[in-house]
Amino acid sequence: MKLLKESVRISLKLLKIMLPISILVKVGSNFGIIDILSKTLSPLMKIMGLSGEMGIVWATAMITNIYGGILVLFTMVQNNVFTVAEITIVASIILFAHSLPVELKVISETGAKPWKILSIRVLCAVISGGCLNFLFKFFNIYQETAVFRFTLKESNSGITSWILGELKKYITIFVIIFILLTLMEGLKKIGVIDWINDKFSPVMSFLGIDPGLSLTCIVGLTMGISYGSGLIIKETREGNYNRRDLFLVAVFMSLCHALIEDTLLMIPLGAKMIGIFWGRIFFAVIFTLIFNKIMPKDEIKEVEAELEK
């Protein structure tokens, strides 16, 4: 019963965060927000070796989600030819920065300021895209034409379909949160949590994060920000960990989450693992280490104050 109440509490908190943002995104998308953002992104796309028109793909993914970005990319492929390098780069930057309105609001509940996480995600995406572009051109690799192994089903974009989709999403979140909390409680009793923390201790210590947050990091890494943040919200409420550790986990998860699902989504597009998997992990680690080193102590206190409000 206690776990059920905790699951309901966390799920309702996530619902209060995500639903208003989802409604705003739905309305904003119909009023040209994506077109405006795509024009703003055009110069950045050229830095990464992509055409300015590719900005609409990234803008759509930023405002809506990965699936929205893929849909726009799929329509562009019908009349354009892209190299494997270009597809890998655009897939990589989408994975670093997508679903921003919802994910930034969710991650802000961990104490991280949305504008800082936004800056980190966009900067990381542009740097990784620029590095991949340089690497591919320098070694003259992945210059062949990309072949899509991807089919899209016709979908109903009406308001009823959207409402049903949102309802299904929030029910799924509640079920998975409940399963996660139940699983964690069981694993804690039989000592598996301690074993996981021990095995991942070197990695977490390297990142400057308390090893006790290993499982939370793994959940975010494999399942996504909503579920990882749900566990962070729980840890924040219980006061089990230093606020600084929770903040660094939030930074890492923002850059590298839902690793398995997201990677599998991009492979059929022709994207290479160096960008969508290994590159994502590499830059997430680098940015977390940098943030760990440069974050002043007074800023950490500000984060704690935000969490306690």
* pLDDT classification of 165: cutoffs 50, 70, 90: confident
Interatomic CA distance for residues 210 and 67, integer angstroms: 34
**Per-residue pLDDT at 151:** 62
What is the mean pLDDT of the segment spanning 246-261? 91
Closest CA to 304 of 214, 220, 223, 241: 241
| pLDDT at residue 304, rounded to an integer | 47
Give the mean pLDDT of 174-198.
87
Share of the chain above pLDDT 70, in %: 91
Q: In whole angstroms, what is the distance from residue 186 CA to residue 179 CA?
A: 11
Give the number of domains in the chain: 1
pLDDT (0 to 100) of residue 296: 62
Question: Which residues make Cβ contacts (< 8 Å) with residue 40, sequence separation at least 6?
Answer: 55, 59
Rounded CA-CA distance 272/79 in Å is 22
More confident residue, 278 or 222: 278
pLDDT of residue 155: 56
SS3 83: strand
The per-residue pLDDT for 307 is 45
Residue 285 has pLDDT above 90, yes or no: yes
Owning domain of residue 106: 2-149+157-308
pTM of the full structure: 0.86
Q: Give the pLDDT mean for 195-216.
A: 90
What separation in angstroms does the CA of 294 have from each of 128, 138, 155, 250, 279?
Answer: 20, 32, 46, 16, 22
Q: Which range has the worst mean pLDDT, 67-71, 96-100, 110-114, 303-307?
A: 303-307
CA–CA distance, 73 with 125 (Å, rounded to integer): 17
